[in-house]
Amino acid sequence: MNRIAALLAVALLLAGCLGDSDVDRARMPRFEAPAPASAPRVALVLGSGGPRGFAHIGVLKVLEEAGVHPDLIIGSSVGSMVGALYASGLDAKSLERMAYDINVLEFFEFRLLSGNLATGRAVQDYVNNHVHGETMEKLKIPFAAAAARARDRQLVVFNRGDTGLAVRAASASPGQFEPVTIDGEKYVDGDEASPVPIHAARLLGAKVVIAVDVSAYEQDTPPGVPAEWVEKDARRAKQVRAEAPEADILIHPNIGYFAGHNEEYRRRVIAAAERQTRAKLPEILAALAK
């Protein structure tokens, strides 16, 4: 038992010693304004939502089948993870297979056993492994990750540098993950500033914006849920409503209130998002035809 305890202590110590980033300065996530001539025609905006983000795959499946190919993908939180993987060249069917195979234990950190917040390094490594270490500017589709600056919750967009680190910062949900330090500044989940970063897509020059909101419908809130959940849902809904008029299409599938991790949940939310996107397809095609 003493040997096991010693090994566990070492593992906890090593986990606690992981730096916020171990990337070269040249790969540090940053923003570079795109040239006006390269402004995207169609931007796909993928929103926050944790496990609810599996629904983004259903949207991608339908858009792909319809021949709708974004020139820019921008995402907050889990939307940045799905967006980065898709931007790397993985098609919707590949993402769906990955969704059914993913094991949440891949993201477990030993430091959680001692009550510490997760570092998110597992998220960074997962993304970088699947994009084969490519930086954001080298992905097949232009990509941007939306994070929030920790000190003032202002939106910050990364479109250059280490893809996994940018996604890690954009997904660092307060209370679950430590803030992520990039070039001396701390960042947290993009959900805090812009759950569905529609305005940022417009600022990047998009002519047509297709946005996906996977958050719960406020009217579906069951009685007895914690007050902080209600407050967070209300804050998120308000932020989305403020940006929604800038989207040509807003896809908001009703995938239920409670999120889950098992395969049945993943299949259900992907299917629900497919149905909603098919229903919106005439509007999407009309917007693209303008």
Residues catalogued as catalytic = 77, 189
> Is the CB of residue 158 less than 8 Å from the CB of residue 145?
yes
List, in order, residues 6 or more apart from 48 with CB less than 8 Å away: 76, 77, 78, 79, 189, 190, 191, 195, 196, 214, 215, 236
Torsion sign (Cα): 20, 25, 27, 31: positive
Alpha carbons 194 and 204: distance in angstroms, whole number:
15
* Cα–Cα nearest to 70, from 51, 56, 54, 49: 56
> Is the CB of residue 192 less than 8 Å from the CB of residue 171?
no
Q: Give 168-225 as a DSSP string.
A: HHHT--TTTB--EEETTEEEE-GGGT-SS-HHHHHHTT-SEEEEE--SPPGGGPPTT-
Q: Give 228-265 as a DSSP string.
A: HHHHHHHHHHHHHHHHGGG-SEEE-----SS---SHHH
Tokens 């009703």 belong to which residue?
254
